[in-house]
């Protein structure tokens, strides 16, 4: 029984638990915290069941569940995982208890509503990765918008309303066009086969037939552009990225971690699953553009990150640079580069998520994120410094830690196809070391520059437990990436082979 | 015993982890010292037992694959180690020098707090792990893990005194400059994967050697990219600027990482990839020119430095230049030979300088030293032995390796190697000049530090003392090695005794013979020197003469009654030259002007102009403003006045009627 509906349980459980929280009075904050941390940890543990039930040798969708929803229009509740989505589902369920624990001491009135938003968001995010029906995909894609809008707009910084509205409208612009493209694909399927369908597995037979020749207005290219814009905004690809720094700076730590850790991956995942999977001919035509934008994003993001005064904004721009690597891998399109890009999505979730958590801990102590307010913290907070250094090294791709493996596969896999792009992206690696080490230098080394930082408490046991899962995975993926690469192999081969 | 290969690096890693934990517990220094020295000692014991077993059997390449590290698509990278003559030689001296410096550090660092002491040994053990991984890795990727690992440890140890901003900055500079080189290395890895489908030494190099004709162009690209990496790590022009600053680290670190082992990794890597370099005359010439020019360039800066560690740092850059010159003329064995002898005498010199600095209460300026040989006889005699060695005085270790390099460079010129004979002849002349300068600046350092009378403050003069046993013991051992270490590479051919050169015989298999290519004389530099015996003896005389001239000049300048007068007058006579050397040719300032400032300007432009103004203000918020404006205008149509609506209905009706009609 449980095994038959494994995926549905993982998908629905967070939302269902949000309903359970509803009747509990909001003043019982401790109860909310304890219940949510227990529940989210159980959800993660349960999602590991997915991992064991998953068959890595099976390239297609697995653990599928399918129920008719609006059968007249060919819309169904069809969910499944394959090697491409399973890692992202697990990343999502892992980050949930991490951010709940990270927000433990957050002294806010509405911890209950924050938890409920977070849980609904989780269902939306998992849904995005497991939806096979494109209509369902659109619905869960939009569902993620609303809780995130509240998380930024209610619990954010001083310019939270501006940031929240900006985030909402940016995403909305993309996703409305995506809806049109989805409807068009279903209509085209009807045209070809006589039956309406929104099912990815069925659209795979018709969508590639969309003509891509005949100028820029060819249907195949238009559909590609509509999907592409929605995903490019989410990733974000240069020049659609300016919502990100605002959203990150204003969002509370919880929001930033989820935003960097999971929401950005929805864009890259969409590119791979839909643009690459459904429209291979249009993809081939757009590879030069995607490669160019990826490389520009890598260097541009790194340059802008370098001159930021606010650590959080710096990490936000570094995300633009890092997601550029993911896009480069996807654009290169070989087996190794694509697997590397998927792994790099997870890596970015761990390292950038980790950096946001650490910046949040610093902010809680000092209520500032300005680099100039720090200096010489290493002596006051040695353990914190050590953890920050490890996450930094993971972020700049030190061999032996996770970031290197992803970058290595992406760049090595892209070399034969685009050596110039690889060399330019390599400049991004150098700049990455520059801005991250310069930050470490200005925050942690040197004499204690500011008396207010004297005797800042070091990492607490709770905070150590927040970071521990990330640190373990950073080393694990760095030393033995096979655990996380082998599940993606068959699925990527199938998707690229079509 | 060969199956314990993995234990050699693993023991060091275990020591590093243990010391990190001990550091957070603030464990007593005695425990940390036992763990730190013990782990490296155990690794050394295992290493030498392994080497003993290895040397006892017919020489072969032993590859031990442990697990698949990265595998996706057609890329497979194994985590595997390799023992062959080259890695054996490297492991042998890295473990010994490393162990001695660990022992020395116990004495040198005793003044640190418990946590800082443990942190030091954790980093130092981690360095040994990475360095051993670097020399034992069986493919370019594992080599690269070690390569970046030693870079990380270098960063951490240069910035060990992190509360002093300049130390932390020096660490950051080292990491970033190295990263520039590392990009070259990384691209070389990608190019190798693309050309050969593998990164394993035992797959790539034989394949290239068997078919030089078809791999020629790729070999040039890969070799040059690899050399970019080597230029970064081994501090050659134009990426040498980090090494002098790296002296901010504790002195034993300078000895181990920035003299004896890590900085020679670039030489090791080039020798390892010698097949690819030999396929490319361009790459060979590039390596030789960069090495030769660096050798003399750094030596000239070393002439005028007053910080004893800075003298040694520029001397290291210069000596590394010799090693690359050797590889560039195809003298692979001579390059490794010089790596080994340099490790002995330069580690000895650095540890000696550390002993001096220790005695003078942290003073590093030679102008405030002098006459120390009376107070510190052990330090003096070992320093003298190492100085004679680096200066190239016969029977000392450095003489044999340096002379071999000079002879082979001459031979490359004489045999017109790859048609670049003139270039190699010029490089030989530069190398001989650099040998003279080396002897001069080293004896300058020796005389000003140990001879004459003490010039420092009174209170320091009272405390001058010889260092503790844990520091002098490594000094004595390294001093002895600086004297006798050269006997592994005796130039037998001078006496018609071919078997005398042990290291040459041992390392011969590393230089795989190339298959014949039509008319391609890449092998000319390999094997016999190809010059007459009389010429060889003459070359020995020239190099000894240069060294002797340097020593005598230094004696005239810095010893006796007229000490320091002559150099001062010379500096006054040639102020521009003096200032140029003192300011290290203003290279750091040049980089700030040409690289750092434009980069920051570009970054500022991207942020303020492109991001904030063009994209966010004009495009994004401009669109929002446009929508708002349009909505405001459209609102005027919604007046709430019934007559306006009636007018609009009428106008619309007329319009439709007109259209239809």
Return d(Cα A104, Cα A100) in angstroms, integer.
6
Return d(Cα B266, Cα B147) in angstroms, integer.
9
Q: Is A393 on the interface with B (CB under 8 A)?
A: yes
- Give the pair of three-digit tokens for residue A30: 């401790």
**Is the alpha carbon torsion for B470, B476, B478, B479 positive or negative?**
positive
Predicted confidence (pLDDT) at residue B322 exceeds the cutoff of 50? yes
For residue B498, what pLDDT band results from cuts at 50, 70 and 90? low
- Nearest-neighbour CA in chain B from A382: distance (Å): 9
CB count within 10 Å of CB A447 equals 11
pLDDT in tens, A35-54: 999 999 999 999 999 999 99
For the segment B180-186, the average pLDDT, to the nearest whole number, is 95
Cβ atoms of B431 and B295 closer than 8 Å:
yes
Return d(Cα B243, Cα B178) in angstroms, integer.
10
**Tell me, what's the pLDDT at B530?**
67
- Give the pair of three-digit tokens for residue A494: 């199938």
What is the DSSP secondary structure assignment for residue B522, as one 8-state letter?
T
More reliable by pLDDT, B88 or B529: B88
What is the DSSP secondary structure assignment for residue B197, as one 8-state letter?
S
Best interface-test mutation with B: which of A172, A302, A408, A479 has the largest number of B CBs within 10 A?
A408
pLDDT in tens, B98-109: 999 999 999 899
Asked if B193 and A415 come within 8 Å (Cβ–Cβ), the reply is yes
pLDDT > 90 in chain B, percent: 62
Of the listed ranges B55-64, B264-273, B336-345, B573-582, the least confidently predicted one is: B55-64
Instruction: Report residue A378 CA to chain centroid gap.
Output: 30
- Give the pair of three-digit tokens for residue B286: 């590039």
In chain B, what residues touch A412 (CB-CB under 8 Å)?
A: 75, 189-190, 193
Please report the DSSP string for A403-460 in residue order.
Answer: HHHHHHHHHHHHHTT-HHHHHHHHHHHHHHHHHHHHHHHHHHSSS---GGGTT-----
Q: Is A381 on the interface with B (CB under 8 A)?
A: no
Cα–Cα nearest to A474, from A415, A382, A365, A386 = A386
Mean pLDDT over the full length of chain B: 89
For residue A79, what pLDDT band results from cuts at 50, 70 and 90? very high
For residue B529, what pLDDT band results from cuts at 50, 70 and 90? low
Asked if A437 and B176 come within 8 Å (Cβ–Cβ), the reply is yes
For residue A109, what pLDDT band results from cuts at 50, 70 and 90? confident
For the segment A338-357, the average pLDDT, to the nearest whole number, is 96
Return d(Cα B143, Cα A126) in angstroms, integer.
40
Return d(Cα B661, Cα B651) in angstroms, integer.
15
**A447 to chain B: closest CA residue:** B163
Asked if B24 and A382 come within 8 Å (Cβ–Cβ), the reply is yes
**A377 to chain B: closest CA residue:** B163
Asked if A422 and B183 come within 8 Å (Cβ–Cβ), the reply is no
For residue B518, what pLDDT band results from cuts at 50, 70 and 90? very low
More reliable by pLDDT, B524 or A79: A79
Best interface-test mutation with A: which of B73, B133, B187, B623 has the largest number of A CBs within 10 A?
B73
- Nearest-neighbour CA in chain B from A241: distance (Å): 9
Question: Which of A415, A419, A482 shows the shortest C-beta gap to B71?
Answer: A482
For residue A390, what pLDDT band results from cuts at 50, 70 and 90? very high
pLDDT in tens, A407-430: 999 999 999 889 999 999 999 999
Q: Is B165 on the interface with A (CB under 8 A)?
A: yes
Q: Is B538 on the interface with A (CB under 8 A)?
A: no
- Give the pair of three-digit tokens for residue A441: 């230098």
* Count of A-B CB contacts under 8 Å: 136
Looking at chain A, the number of H-run helices and the number of E-run strands are 21, 2
Question: Which ranges constitute the DSSP H helices of B234-307?
Answer: 242-245, 251-255, 265-272, 274-278, 281-302
pTM value? 0.93
pLDDT in tens, B36-69: 999 999 999 999 999 988 887 777 888 999 999 9
Q: Is B422 on the interface with A (CB under 8 A)?
A: no
More reliable by pLDDT, B149 or B509: B149
- Cβ-count burial B266-278 (b if 16+ within 10 Å, e if not): bbbbbbbbbbbbb
SS3 A132: coil
**Tell me, what's the pLDDT at B4?**
86
In chain A, what residues touch B70 (CB-CB under 8 Å)?
A: 405, 408-409, 481-482, 485
- Give the pair of three-digit tokens for residue A346: 């997870």
Cα–Cα nearest to A395, from A316, A483, A296, A308 = A316
Predicted confidence (pLDDT) at residue A498 exceeds the cutoff of 70? no
Best interface-test mutation with B: which of A246, A307, A432, A454 has the largest number of B CBs within 10 A?
A307
Asked if B165 and A242 come within 8 Å (Cβ–Cβ), the reply is no
- Nearest-neighbour CA in chain A from B368: distance (Å): 28
Predicted confidence (pLDDT) at residue B521 exceeds the cutoff of 60? no
**Tell me, what's the pLDDT at A434?**
94
**Tell me, what's the pLDDT at A1?**
61
CB count within 10 Å of CB A113 equals 18
pLDDT > 70 in chain A, percent: 99
Asked if B176 and A445 come within 8 Å (Cβ–Cβ), the reply is no
Q: Is B193 on the interface with A (CB under 8 A)?
A: yes
Best interface-test mutation with B: which of A168, A303, A375 has the largest number of B CBs within 10 A?
A303
pLDDT > 70 in chain B, percent: 97
Q: Is B603 on the interface with A (CB under 8 A)?
A: yes
In chain B, what residues touch A379 (CB-CB under 8 Å)?
A: 162-163
More reliable by pLDDT, A105 or B604: B604
In chain B, what residues touch A405 (CB-CB under 8 Å)?
A: 70
Measured CA distances, A218 to A214, A215, A225, A282, A291 (Å):
6, 6, 11, 10, 21
**Segments making up each domain of chain B, as ranges:** 591-660
Best interface-test mutation with A: which of B10, B68, B70, B117 has the largest number of A CBs within 10 A?
B70
For the segment A184-200, the average pLDDT, to the nearest whole number, is 93
**A335 to chain B: closest CA residue:** B73
Cβ atoms of B20 and B101 closer than 8 Å:
no
CB count within 10 Å of CB A104 equals 16
**B72 to chain A: closest CA residue:** A336
**Tell me, what's the pLDDT at B560?**
77
Predicted confidence (pLDDT) at residue B415 exceeds the cutoff of 60? yes
Chain A residues 287-306 with a CB less than 8 Å from chain B:
300, 303-304, 306
What is the DSSP secondary structure assignment for residue B210, as one 8-state letter?
H
For residue A395, what pLDDT band results from cuts at 50, 70 and 90? very high
Predicted confidence (pLDDT) at residue B367 exceeds the cutoff of 70? yes
**Tell me, what's the pLDDT at A156?**
87
**Tell me, what's the pLDDT at A352?**
95
HSE value, Cβ hemisphere, 13 Å, CA-based, for B192:
28
Angle among Cα A349, A350, A355 to the nearest 5 degrees reads 100
Q: Using CB atoms within 10 Å of the CB of residue A400, give its burial: 0 to 12 exposed, 13 to 18 middle, 19+ buried.
A: buried
Return d(Cα B405, Cα A437) in angstroms, integer.
39
- Nearest-neighbour CA in chain B from A198: distance (Å): 32
Predicted confidence (pLDDT) at residue B200 exceeds the cutoff of 90? yes
For the segment B290-316, the average pLDDT, to the nearest whole number, is 93
Asked if A441 and B163 come within 8 Å (Cβ–Cβ), the reply is no
Q: Is B189 on the interface with A (CB under 8 A)?
A: yes
Instruction: Note down the domain range covering A177.
Output: 3-497
In chain A, what residues touch B607 (CB-CB under 8 Å)?
A: 303-304, 307-308
In chain B, what residues touch A340 (CB-CB under 8 Å)?
A: 72
Q: Is A157 on the interface with B (CB under 8 A)?
A: no
Q: Is B502 on the interface with A (CB under 8 A)?
A: no
Mean pLDDT over the full length of chain A: 92
Asked if A303 and B163 come within 8 Å (Cβ–Cβ), the reply is no
Q: Which residues does A292 contact at the CB level (< 8 Å), separation at least 6?
A: A421
Predicted confidence (pLDDT) at residue B524 exceeds the cutoff of 50? no
For the segment B363-387, the average pLDDT, to the nearest whole number, is 91
In chain A, what residues touch B599 (CB-CB under 8 Å)?
A: 303, 306
Number of residues written out for chain A: 498
Return d(Cα B147, Cα A64) in angstroms, integer.
46
Q: Is A401 on the interface with B (CB under 8 A)?
A: no
Reported in sequence order, the residue ranges of A200-350 that DSSP labels E, i.e. its strands, are none
Predicted confidence (pLDDT) at residue A107 exceeds the cutoff of 80? no
Cβ atoms of B507 and B85 closer than 8 Å:
yes
Question: Which of A169, A340, A438 shows the shortest C-beta gap to B72?
Answer: A340
Predicted confidence (pLDDT) at residue B497 exceeds the cutoff of 70? no
Measured CA distances, B33 to B13, B19, B27, B41, B160 (Å):
15, 9, 10, 11, 17
For the segment A347-366, the average pLDDT, to the nearest whole number, is 94
- Give the pair of three-digit tokens for residue B380: 């003096």
Q: Is A454 on the interface with B (CB under 8 A)?
A: no
**Tell me, what's the pLDDT at B523?**
47
Cα–Cα nearest to A135, from A195, A193, A86, A71 = A71
Task: State ipTM.
Answer: 0.93
Question: Which of B172, B179, B600 shows the shortest C-beta gap to A441?
Answer: B172
Indicate the number of domains in chain A: 1
Predicted confidence (pLDDT) at residue A27 exceeds the cutoff of 80? yes
Of the listed ranges A290-294, A346-350, B7-11, B582-586, the least confidently predicted one is: B582-586
SS3 B452: coil
Question: Which of B68, B163, B607 shows the shortest C-beta gap to A304?
Answer: B607
For the segment A187-191, the average pLDDT, to the nearest whole number, is 93
Return d(Cα A39, Cα A110) in angstroms, integer.
19
């Amino acid at each position: 029984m449980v095994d038959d509906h494994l995926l549905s349980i993982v998908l629905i459980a967070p939302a269902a638990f949000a309903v359970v929280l509803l009747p509990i009075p909001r003043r019982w904050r401790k109860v909310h915290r304890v219940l949510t941390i227990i529940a989210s940890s159980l959800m993660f543990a349960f999602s590991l069941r997915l991992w064991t039930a998953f068959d890595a040798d099976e390239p297609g969708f697995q653990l599928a569940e399918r129920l008719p929803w609006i059968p007249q229009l060919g819309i169904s509740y069809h969910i499944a995982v394959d090697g491409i989505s399973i890692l992202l589902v697990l990343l999502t369920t892992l980050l949930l208890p991490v951010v709940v624990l990270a927000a433990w001491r957050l002294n806010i009135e509405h911890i209950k509503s924050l938890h409920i938003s977070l849980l609904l968001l989780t269902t939306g995010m998992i849904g995005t990765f497991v939806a096979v029906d494109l209509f369902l995909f659109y619905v869960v894609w939009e569902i993620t918008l609303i809780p995130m809008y509240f998380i930024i707009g209610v619990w954010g910084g001083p310019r939270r309303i501006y940031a929240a509205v900006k985030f909402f409208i940016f995403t909305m612009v993309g996703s409305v066009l995506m809806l049109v493209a989805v409807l068009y694909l279903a209509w085209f399927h009807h045209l070809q086969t006589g039956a309406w369908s929104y099912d990815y597995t069925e659209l795979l037979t018709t969508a590639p037939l969309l003509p891509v020749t005949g100028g820029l207005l060819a249907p195949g290219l238009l559909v590609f552009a509509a999907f592409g814009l929605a995903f490019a905004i989410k990733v974000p690809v240069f020049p659609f990225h300016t919502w990100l720094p605002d959203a990150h700076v204003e969002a509370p730590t919880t929001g930033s971690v989820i935003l960097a850790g999971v929401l950005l991956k929805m864009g890259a995942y969409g590119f791979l699953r839909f643009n690459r999977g459904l429209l291979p001919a249009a993809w081939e035509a757009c590879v030069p553009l995607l490669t160019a934008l990826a490389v520009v994003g890598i260097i541009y993001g790194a340059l802008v990150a370098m001159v930021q005064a606010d650590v959080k904004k710096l990490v936000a721009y570094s995300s633009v640079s890092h997601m550029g690597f993911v896009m480069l891998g996807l654009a290169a399109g070989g087996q190794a580069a694509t697997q590397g890009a998927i792994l790099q999505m997870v890596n970015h979730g761990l390292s950038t998520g980790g950096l946001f958590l650490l910046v949040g801990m610093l902010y809680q102590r000092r209520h500032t994120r300005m680099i100039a307010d720090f200096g010489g913290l290493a002596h006051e907070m040695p353990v914190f410094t050590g953890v920050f250094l490890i996450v930094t090294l993971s972020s700049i791709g030190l061999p032996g830690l996770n970031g290197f493996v992803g970058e290595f596969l992406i760049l090595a896999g892209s070399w034969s196809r685009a050596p110039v792009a690889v060399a330019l992206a390599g400049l991004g690696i150098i700049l990455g070391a520059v801005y991250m080490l310069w930050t470490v230098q200005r925050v942690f080394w040197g004499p204690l520059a500011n008396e207010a930082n004297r005797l800042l408490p070091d990492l607490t046991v709770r905070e150590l437990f927040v970071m521990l899962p990330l640190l373990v995975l950073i080393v694990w993926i760095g030393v033995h990436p096979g655990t996380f690469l082998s599940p993606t192999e068959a699925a990527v081969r199938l998707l690229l082979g079509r | 015993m060969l199956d314990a290969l993995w234990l050699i690096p693993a023991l060091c890693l275990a020591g590093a982890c243990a010391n990190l934990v001990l550091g957070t517990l603030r464990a007593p220094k005695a425990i940390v010292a036992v763990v730190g020295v013990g782990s490296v000692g155990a690794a050394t014991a295992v290493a030498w037992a392994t080497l003993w077993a290895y040397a006892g059997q017919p020489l072969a390449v032993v590859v031990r694959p442990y697990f698949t590290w990265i595998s996706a698509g057609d890329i497979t990278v194994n985590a595997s180690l390799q023992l062959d003559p080259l890695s054996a030689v490297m492991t042998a001296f890295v473990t010994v020098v490393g162990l001695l410096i660990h022992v020395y550090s116990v004495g040198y660092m005793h003044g640190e707090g418990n946590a800082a002491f443990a942190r030091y040994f954790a980093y130092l053990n981690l360095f040994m792990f990475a360095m051993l991984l670097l020399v034992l890795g069986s493919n370019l990727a594992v080599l690269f893990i070690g390569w970046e690992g030693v870079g990380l440890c270098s960063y951490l140890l240069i910035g060990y005194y992190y509360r002093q901003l300049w130390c932390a900055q020096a660490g950051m500079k080292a990491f970033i400059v190295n990263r520039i080189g590392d990009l070259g290395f990384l691209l070389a890895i990608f190019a190798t994967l693309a050309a050969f489908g593998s990164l394993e030494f035992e797959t790539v190099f034989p394949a290239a050697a068997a078919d030089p004709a078809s791999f020629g162009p790729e070999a040039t690209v890969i070799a040059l990219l690899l050399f970019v990496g080597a230029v970064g790590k081994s501090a050659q022009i134009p990426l040498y600027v980090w090494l002098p600053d790296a002296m901010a680290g504790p002195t034993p670190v300078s000895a181990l990482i920035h003299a004896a082992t890590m900085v020679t990794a670039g030489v090791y890597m080039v020798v390892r990839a010698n097949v690819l370099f030999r396929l490319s005359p361009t790459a060979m010439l590039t390596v030789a020119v960069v090495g030769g020019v660096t050798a003399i360039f750094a030596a000239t800066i070393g002439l005028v430095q007053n910080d004893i560690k800075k003298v040694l740092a520029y001397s290291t850059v210069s000596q590394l230049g010799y090693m690359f010159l050797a590889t560039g003329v195809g003298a692979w064995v001579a390059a490794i030979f010089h790596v080994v002898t340099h490790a002995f005498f330069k580690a000895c010199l650095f540890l000696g300088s550390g002993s001096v600095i220790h005695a003078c209460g942290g003073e590093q300026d030679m102008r405030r030293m002098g006459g120390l040989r009376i107070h510190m006889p052990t330090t003096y005699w070992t320093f003298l032995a190492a100085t004679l060695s680096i200066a190239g005085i016969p029977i000392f270790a450095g003489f044999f390796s340096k002379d071999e390099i000079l002879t082979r460079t001459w031979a490359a010129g004489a045999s017109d190697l790859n048609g670049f004979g003139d270039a190699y002849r010029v490089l030989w002349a530069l190398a001989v000049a650099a040998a003279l300068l080396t002897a001069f600046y080293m004896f300058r350092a020796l005389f000003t530090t140990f001879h004459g009378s003490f010039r420092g403050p009174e209170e320091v003069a009272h405390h001058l003392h010889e260092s503790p046993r844990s520091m002098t013991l490594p000094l004595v051992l390294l001093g002895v090695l600086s004297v006798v270490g050269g006997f592994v590479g005796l130039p037998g051919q001078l006496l018609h005794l071919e078997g005398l050169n042990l290291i040459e015989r041992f390392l011969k298999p590393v230089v795989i013979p190339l298959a014949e290519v039509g008319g391609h004389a890449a092998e000319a530099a390999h094997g016999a020197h190809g010059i007459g015996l009389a010429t060889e003896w003459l070359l020995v005389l020239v190099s000894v003469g240069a060294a002797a001239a340097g020593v005598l000049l230094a004696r005239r300048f810095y010893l006796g009654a007229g000490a320091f007068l002559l150099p001062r007058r010379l500096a006054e006579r040639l102020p521009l030259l003096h200032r140029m050397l003192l300011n290290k040719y203003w290279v750091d300032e040049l980089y700030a002007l040409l690289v750092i400032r434009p980069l920051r300007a570009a970054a500022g432009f991207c942020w303020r102009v492109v991001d904030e103004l063009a994209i966010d203000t004009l495009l994004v918020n401009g669109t929002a403003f446009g929508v708002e404006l349009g909505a405001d205008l459209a609102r005027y149509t919604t007046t709430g006045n019934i007559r306006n609506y009636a007018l609009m209905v009428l106008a619309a009706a007329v319009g439709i009627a007109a259209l239809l009609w």
